[in-house]
Amino acid sequence: MSFENILLEVVEQGVYLLTVNRPKSYNALNAATLEDIHSASQVVAADPEARAVILTGAGDKAFVAGADIKEMQNFKGIEAQRFSEKGMRAFRALELLDVPVIAAVNGFCLGGGCELAMSCDWIIASENALFGQPEVNLGVTPGFGGSQRLTRLIGRARAMELLVTGNNIKAEQAERWGLANHVYSAETLMDEALKLATTIAAKGPQAVRMTKQLVQRGQDMELDVACVMESQAFGLAFSTDDQSEGMGAFVEKRTAEFSGK
């Protein structure tokens, strides 16, 4: 799994670590990096043994400081739109993975970096993390889904405040507003991320995948329709080997050994 601008490795059984690896550029997202992220998502999606993904940035300065301004500066309108669409496709592929994706945010998480983190299922942050959508400072709008995901995550009023002022917020405020789930020291961030991922990897894989789908698909449905979908998924779970093993292990007071079937 060799890429130019990212690293993709299996760090524990079923647990992938995806690292944006351009530390000299504060991990800025150029077109090639977006393509690498998209390709990495396809690798994970094709692996039946995948259980969880941790996404982070190389170095201690930045998760991702934003899109690559030097690359974008002289874009014409259609070039800019295509660059935006490339980012949208990459982030949506990551978001639609059927295994949970955890963003481990260290340092700057701005613009395209914040948009990348928000395409994950949740964010954990180090105490030195800084979040923001500063695109208006450059005379442009967000281009990788920031105006939409941020609103869905923290609400219209708070999202508007960040989007139109271009202000940044620290990790503690991001946690209070619901953008980050947890804040840890920089030294323990990756250990905590791995702890979360290995916890997930030990659960029933089919149940985890179905639960993620229920949350993603159900959030925009009417409640009654979404609950019907949940009942159907619950019934389907009882056709899996994982259900037999999980409930059998509970009754027998032993640790379940799930097969993912």
Q: Which residues are marked as active site? A: 115, 135
Which amino acid would we find at residue 159? Answer: A
Q: Where are the beta strands (DSSP E) in the chain?
A: 6-12, 15-20, 52-57, 62-64, 101-105, 108-110, 122-126, 130-132, 168-170, 182-184
Burial 203-227 (b: 16+ CB within 10 A, else e): bbbbbbbbbbebeeebeeeeeeeee
Residue 115's nearest CA partner among 140, 138, 136, 94 is: 94
Strand partners, 122: 102
Q: Within 10 A of 58 (CB to CB), how many other CB atoms are there?
A: 20
CB 113 within 8 A of CB 144: no
CA-wise closest residue to 8 among 53, 48, 45:
53
Secondary structure (3-state) at 229: helix
Tally of CA atoms within 13 A in the half-sphere of 50 that contains its CB: 23
16 DSSP β-pair partners:
10, 53
